[in-house]
Amino acid sequence: MELDEIDKKLLLFLQEDCKQTTKELSGKLGLSVTAVYERVKKLENSGVISRYVVLLDKRKVKRDFIVLCHVKLTQHKKEFVLQFEKEVMNLQEVTECFHVSGDYDYILKIGVKDIEDYRNFMLTKLTTLQHIASTHSSFMISEVKNTTAIVL
């Protein structure tokens, strides 16, 4: 789908606050409410807008101890990779998982309450997964940039 400049502006406004009404968006874009509604529906139906979510304040829900955990598998056999990916999907503490190149196979972003909570996660969940050869953890000191917006 080809996005025009109005679509791009609309997507930026929705990424800033998706609870804006079509009336509010129409005022910002200089379009009728119906035109904005139709554009949003087109973007949803084409899959450009995949879903709407609520972003939580990690501190207020006590999940602000952020860990980047590098994971190396014992082998790169297809069944090992697929099994690891299936199992990691069930770990609620893991908010992001990337299959990467380099010295490690995966990078996991993990949000827990504190170091004790992370230790418990490692001992009772992550290291119980099959085919993990090693892990390496880095702890977030401060968050410099965190955005979900994609600028077009």
For the chain, the structural domain boundaries read 5-46, 58-139
Domain 5-46 matches domain 58-139 at the CATH topology level: no
Rg (CA), the chain: 20
> 100 Cβ partners below 8 Å, 6+ apart?
106, 107
Tell me: domain 5-46, CATH 1.10.10.10, correct? yes
**The pLDDT value given to residue 69:** 98
> How would you classify the pairing of strands 65-73 and 94-99?
unpaired
Of 1.20.1250.20, 2.40.50.140, 3.20.20.30, 3.30.70.920, the CATH number of 58-139 is 3.30.70.920
**The pLDDT value given to residue 1:** 85
Output the CA–CA distances (angstroms, integers) from residue 4 to 10, 11, 22, 49, in the order listed: 10, 11, 18, 15
The string over 39-78, giving b where at least 16 C-beta atoms fall within 10 Å of a residue's C-beta and e elsewhere, is bbeebeeeeebeeeeeeeeeeeeebebbbebbbebeeeee
State both tokens at 124. 């009772």
pLDDT lower than 50: segments of the chain: none
Q: Where are the beta strands (DSSP E) in 39-93?
A: 65-73
| Confidence (pTM) | 0.89
CA torsion, ordered 141, 63, 14, 9, to nearest 10 deg: 10
**The pLDDT value given to residue 146:** 94
